[in-house]
Structure 1
Amino acid sequence: MRVVIVAEHASSQFGGEAFLPLNYFRLLRDRNIEAWLVVHGRTQAELQSLLPKECDRMYFVSDTWIHKFLWRFGQFLPSRVAVMTTGLISHLYTQNIQRSIVRKLVRQHNIDVVHEPIPVSPKFPSLMYGVGAPVVIGPMNGDIEYPPAFRDRESRSAKLTISLGRQLADIWNRVMPGKLQAQTLLVANERTKQALPSGVTGTVIELVENGVDLFVWQLLAAEKIPSEAAKFVFIGRLVDWKAVELLVEAFQGVAAETDACLEIIGDGNLRQELEAQAVNLGLGERVKFFGWLSQKECAMRLEHASALVLPSLLECGGAVVLEAMAMGLPVIATKWGGPADYLDTTCGILIEPTSREALINGFTDAMLKLAHYPELRSQMGRAGQQRVRQHFDWERKIDRILEIYQHCSVSNFKTNSKFKSLITNTSI
């Protein structure tokens, strides 16, 4: 099996979906699968340091003045608008260059499958067509809006821009028909499947977007010993849609009744504002900001935590939820998007986002419940570990993706009609 992984970024430092192509490439190479990686040069130094033995298998698109101009212009736009305008243009510009590299690799190495794991948006067009090998795209995960009670967090102009972009998606995907011509499209859920562009002809398979590397997020060998004071941890970017300001407000009620503390790990344009909010609420000593930490450092913080808290209002995936579960932690999260797919009542507490007050009060009550009942934390943590082992281990995910590659490869993609009918509705 010979595979090319092509993506905008592959990184352990960028966070979010950039982890996905990195994990596919790294784990395939760990199994001695012939694989190559084609990404943007922004992460070249990191990847060459992280995977020094694979340098000859990694190809990088240089950062040009066009990339830099689009990035700078995008800083003046709302984040979701930037993703669908300057971000999309930059991505397609990069992909156009990557397409030439991929075509050359296919010819030189007799590639069986080209896999494009990101962007995860089902609406974004793809230029990975006509490359000389079958193409797999995904797993995709998207088409999510703010909960109805929180739609006013987005400006009217942003809403109009996003709505127009989605309406034009079918046109984009006909002009750049990578998804329409892909041999296989992977989707994380039914919501994403319904959001695919019209005219898709390939096999559509349901496959979880995120996974957990259990070598990094290790299952604890011994039973967690509850500390006297509960410690709640948030991990993520400090941006509007993560709703961290609501978490800080919710924690005020927890701090009033317990000795619990809240650790906020991550960085973003709202950090100073959130730090000021904590001070103004009298929580300066109880809410601690750690900035950006590596995966290893995050795992170390979680090892001494009582629970993960994630108030995000626009989370398609939420890998951090799975990582906390792997560490034996219960999770308190908004019942919306990805966390609602990953958690059940045995391992987490999901808060309905019916209103601002309901979300704040729900997080307060859930944190108090876990602070007062350490045995409940241990019980939910064990259930989360079991759920991760069964459904979200990256090694199991690689097993599944190799099956998909095998049936999509050059030697099989013309004769796999039985496979297509068998797996169209399966999932992991």
Structure 2
Amino acid sequence: MAKDRVLLIAEACNPEWFSVPLVGWAHASALRELADYDVTVATQIRNREAILRAGWVEGEDFVSIDSERVAAPAYKVATLLRGGANKGWTTVTAVQSLTYNYFERLIWSKYKQELRSGRYQLVHRLTPLSPTSPSYLASKLHSIDVPFIIGPLNGGVPWPTQFSGVRRKEKEWLSYIRSMHTLMPGYHRTRRSARALIIGSKDTWHQMPEAYQSKCVYIPENGIDLARFSKTRTRQATLPLELVFVGRLVPYKGADMLIEAAQNLIRNGQARVTIIGSGPEYETLQQLSLKLGCAEGVRLLGSIEHQAVQDHLIQADLMVFPSIREFGGAVALEAMAVGLVPMVVRYGGIGELVSDETGFLIEMGSRDEIVASLRQNLEHVVADPSLIEQKAVAAKDRVQHWFTWDAKARQVSQVYDWVLGRLNQKPHWGMPFGNNQDHAKASRGGDHD
């Protein structure tokens, strides 16, 4: 029996890059392994050479779409407008959303005859992840009755009002008017024409107009490649407690709050901090640790190879990542995958990946309140390091059950099955995953909040 064919659109899909391109690659690779579906990936030409080096065959496994005529100058414009490296991400996303339309027009031009003839039973737009990018293909596919799925869509986590100064330092000027994207041509047409919308976070879900929520399915964007994170933390938590931070050194990631919260423990020889990552805050963090008199217990390693990150994770006791605005938060999954317990702020996407059983969740508040809560939690763990080991096994189990790319592909395949009529009910695993209240609500036939 022939498999149903899926045209998978992944504009960002690159095994050698990070962030969204790596998510696109890992997710697309897992979807191509589905038993019931034959998946062809359409991606932007900038990814071609890396994909070929990974062993895919052009014309069979993937096709590259050359939209550089528009994409290249758009990238230059975004670079000029963003206000510096690692800043102004809302501006970058806005420019990309305005130019992405051309990429989909080229796909339609290339595939319209095959789509009209029924060669593909389904089209799934995997990336871009941003909800602000309308789809040119949505209405075209609706007119020829080819099911169209978008997602996971993730973005729009509100800036915490307590951190308006950080917002300005990040050059997030456009974030003040981000909601204007709902007025863009194609916003409602895209959602109206899609058969299913995969939503990557609760914030994105709640921003979806109620008229479209019946076709929404919650699946977080991030997953974990167990081949990349194959080692397991074997150490037992002991003093001095080994704390590790992994991420870009920019204001909203909160590495400074970690140093400030842990300073007394560091000076007393009860904790040490390792910070992995680079960015404009590097020297600021150095100066802060000197000012607080705890520099001897703070190591700033700078950037390291992604493959080497797990070697540092398995030597730590806690991954402390007090970022105040994370869409995805893959670093928490990487930590849990090797059995390292995370301590994160319960806000944005990362607060949905970590549960109270698998980590320590800090409530959102002012900077002083977060620092105080971090300090209190760290002191609590120092007083009883066995608290870490109680959560470590559950952390690893949570990742392996819900967040491997294979698990994610199986989740998405159920969305395919639902759209194609193989499942009578929309798939639902709780929001966040494993949320018992959501499961109970689903069993009663209720809708999401």
TM-score using structure 1 length: 0.84
1:36 is aligned, of 12, 28, 40, to: 40
In the aligned structure 2, how far is the partner of 1:44 from the partner of 1:256? 51
Partner of 1:248: 259
Partner of 1:229: 240
1:331 is aligned, of 334, 338, 342, to: 342
Partner of 1:144: 157
1:10 is aligned, of 3, 13, 19, to: 13
Deviation at 1:403, TM superposition (A): 2.1
Q: Report the secondary structure of 1:423's partner residue.
A: coil
Partner of 2:372: 361
2:51 is aligned, of 25, 47, 57, to: 47
In the aligned structure 2, how far is the partner of 1:101 from the partner of 1:18? 19
In the aligned structure 2, how far is the partner of 1:195 from the partner of 1:93? 23
In the aligned structure 1, how far is the partner of 2:400 from the partner of 2:169? 43
Counterpart amino acid of residue 154 in structure 1: R
In the aligned structure 2, how far is the partner of 1:176 from the partner of 1:294? 42
Deviation at 1:52, TM superposition (A): 2.0
Q: Report the secondary structure of 1:117's partner residue.
A: strand
In the aligned structure 2, how far is the partner of 1:111 from the partner of 1:89? 31
Alignment of 1:8-157 (within 5 A): 8-12=11-15, 14-31=17-34, 33-49=37-53, 51-56=54-59, 57-61=62-66, 63-64=68-69, 65-76=72-83, 82-101=88-107, 104-105=110-111, 107-108=113-114, 110-129=119-138, 130-131=140-141, 133-155=146-168
In the aligned structure 1, how far is the partner of 2:106 from the partner of 2:377? 52
Q: Report the secondary structure of 2:186's partner residue.
A: helix
Q: Deviations over 1:45-100 (max 9, x none)?
A: 43333x223444241435454134213313327977x4444532234424412432
Match status 1:399 vs 2:410: yes
Deviation at 1:350, TM superposition (A): 1.3
In the aligned structure 2, how far is the partner of 1:173 from the partner of 1:198? 19
**RMSD value, Cα:** 3.2
Counterpart amino acid of residue 380 in structure 2: K
Match status 1:212 vs 2:224: yes
Deviation at 1:255, TM superposition (A): 0.6
Counterpart amino acid of residue 353 in structure 1: M
Q: Report the secondary structure of 2:395's partner residue.
A: helix
Q: Report the secondary structure of 1:301's partner residue.
A: helix
Deviation at 1:424, TM superposition (A): 6.7
In the aligned structure 1, how far is the partner of 2:96 from the partner of 2:348? 27
Q: Deviations over 1:153-209 (max 9, x none)?
A: 32399777324331x222215368333311110113443223125764972222232
In the aligned structure 2, how far is the partner of 1:68 from the partner of 1:215? 32
Counterpart amino acid of residue 259 in structure 2: V
Q: Report the secondary structure of 1:323's partner residue.
A: helix
Deviation at 1:244, TM superposition (A): 1.9
In the aligned structure 1, how far is the partner of 2:137 from the partner of 2:259? 43
Counterpart amino acid of residue 341 in structure 1: E
1:370 is aligned, of 368, 376, 381, to: 381
Q: Is the 8 A contact 1:38 1:98 kept in 2?
A: no
Range 234-243 or range 7-16, more displaced: 7-16
Alignment of 1:218-297 (within 5 A): 218=230, 220=232, 223-226=234-237, 229-297=240-308
The 3 A distance-change label for structure 1 pair 153 and 3 is: same
Match status 1:172 vs 2:184: yes
Q: Is the 8 A contact 1:205 1:426 kept in 2?
A: no
The 3 A distance-change label for structure 1 pair 216 and 159 is: closer
The 3 A distance-change label for structure 1 pair 190 and 276 is: closer
Q: Deviations over 1:226-245 (max 9, x none)?
A: 46532211112222221222
In the aligned structure 1, how far is the partner of 2:110 from the partner of 2:392? 48
Range 309-318 or range 352-361, more displaced: 352-361
The 3 A distance-change label for structure 1 pair 333 and 84 is: closer
Counterpart amino acid of residue 9 in structure 1: A
Deviation at 1:306, TM superposition (A): 1.0
In the aligned structure 2, how far is the partner of 1:46 from the partner of 1:162? 33
TM-score using structure 2 length: 0.81
The 3 A distance-change label for structure 1 pair 136 and 277 is: same
The 3 A distance-change label for structure 1 pair 157 and 347 is: closer
In the aligned structure 2, how far is the partner of 1:126 from the partner of 1:83? 21
Deviation at 1:298, TM superposition (A): 1.2
Unaligned runs of 5+ in 2: 434-449
Counterpart amino acid of residue 218 in structure 1: S
In the aligned structure 2, how far is the partner of 1:341 from the partner of 1:70? 34
In the aligned structure 2, how far is the partner of 1:60 from the partner of 1:287? 46
The 3 A distance-change label for structure 1 pair 175 and 256 is: closer
Counterpart amino acid of residue 327 in structure 2: C
The 3 A distance-change label for structure 1 pair 62 and 120 is: closer
Counterpart amino acid of residue 110 in structure 2: K
- Percent of paired sites with the same residue: 23
In the aligned structure 1, how far is the partner of 2:195 from the partner of 2:215? 6
The 3 A distance-change label for structure 1 pair 44 and 239 is: farther
In the aligned structure 1, how far is the partner of 2:396 from the partner of 2:405? 14
The 3 A distance-change label for structure 1 pair 22 and 9 is: same
1:187 is aligned, of 199, 215, 218, to: 199
